[in-house]
Structures are given as C-alpha cells and as structure tokens.
C-alpha cells in the first residue's frame, strides 16, 4: 500500500506569471478566513496574530505589510480558512501580480523585500 503523506500531484500553469528560467519553490499556505476569493498572482502577507496568509497590504501593521509569497492558484478563503499553495522563490512578472492598493513606491519597496527572500520581480518587455 502506497503512502501519500498528504501530498498530491497537480499540474499548474503560470504562463504570464513566471518571468524567467530561475527555479521556483512552492510552499503550502493557509489562507485565513475572510481573505476573500483570491486569484493566482495575489501577493500575500502573513498576519502575525494567527500566522495565516492574507492579501498583502502595504499600509497594514499586522504583518501583512511584509510580502511573503505569491499565490499559485485561485483559492476561496472568503468564509473559511483554505489550504493552498504559493510561490516562495522564483522569478515573476510584476504586471501579473496583484499588489492590492499599493502605490508605485510601496510596490518598489515590496520588490526589495521580496528579493531578500529569493523572490525576484521584474518588468517583462517594453
């Protein structure tokens, strides 16, 4: 009898999200209830109080002001916690990411924070 250790195999495509040949690392994340119906490419922060992931919010003071990961698949966490998967390492297109209401300056700062964690965000093309 094969053991599965809670890991499932899944095909994923991120054609416009990935921005180079740098390898990616995916990590399981728990999105906190009330985070909403999130789409692939959502920049995530981790709330300090519960260690769950929510939309990145540059002006928050609860931990979500620090970008930690990029959601790798659409996930609904509007009314209950949801387990999903997020990129924690790789090379990504800034235009394919959802930065919420962050200003240009806040996005540039978030990119610098991401770079320290091995997440490289860049503009593709023109």
Query: What is the per-residue pLDDT across 31-48, written as a single tens digit (0 to 9) for each?
Result: 999 999 999 999 999 999
Q: How confident is the model at residue 2 (pLDDT cuts 50, 70, 90)?
A: low
Please report whether residue 6 resides in a domain.
Answer: no
Residue 5 lies in a domain: no
Q: Give the burial class of 98: count Cβ atoms within 10 A of its Cβ; 0-12 exposed, 13-18 middle, 19 or more buried.
A: middle
Separation in Å, CA 70 to CA 17, 34, 105: 10, 18, 19
The residues with which 46 forms a beta bridge, in sequence order, are: 53
Cα angle, residue 75 at apex, residues 90 and 125 outer, rounded to 5°: 40
For the chain, percent of residues with pLDDT exceeding 70: 87
Neighbours of 52 (CB within 10 A): 20
pLDDT for 73: 97
Q: Which of 10-24, 53-67, 85-99 has the lowest mean pLDDT?
A: 10-24
pLDDT band at 13 (very low <50, low <70, confident <90, very high): low
The reply to whether 40 falls in a domain is: yes
The number of angstroms, rounded, from the C-alpha of 88 to the middle of its chain's C-alpha atoms is: 7
Q: Is residue 20 part of a domain?
A: no
Establish if 1 belongs to a structural domain. no
In the chain, the number of structural domains is 1
Element (H, E) at 107: helix 104-116
Please report, for the domain that includes residue 91, its CATH number: 2.40.300.10
Q: Report pTM.
A: 0.86
Residue 96 lies in a domain: yes
Domain range for residue 94? 25-122
The answer to the question of residue 64 being in a domain is yes
């Amino acid at each position: 009898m094969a053991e599965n250790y809670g890991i499932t195999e899944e095909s994923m495509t991120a054609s416009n999200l990935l921005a180079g040949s740098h390898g990616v690392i995916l990590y399981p994340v728990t999105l906190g209830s009330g985070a909403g119906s999130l789409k692939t490419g959502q920049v995530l922060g981790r709330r300090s109080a519960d260690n769950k992931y929510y939309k990145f919010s540059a002006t928050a003071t609860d931990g979500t002001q620090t970008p930690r990961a990029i959601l790798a698949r659409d996930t609904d966490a509007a009314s209950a916690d949801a387990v999903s998967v997020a990129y924690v390492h790789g090379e990504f297109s800034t235009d394919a990411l959802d930065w919420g209401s962050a200003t240009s300056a806040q996005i540039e700062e978030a990119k610098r924070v991401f770079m320290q964690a091995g997440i490289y965000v860049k503009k593709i093309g023109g």
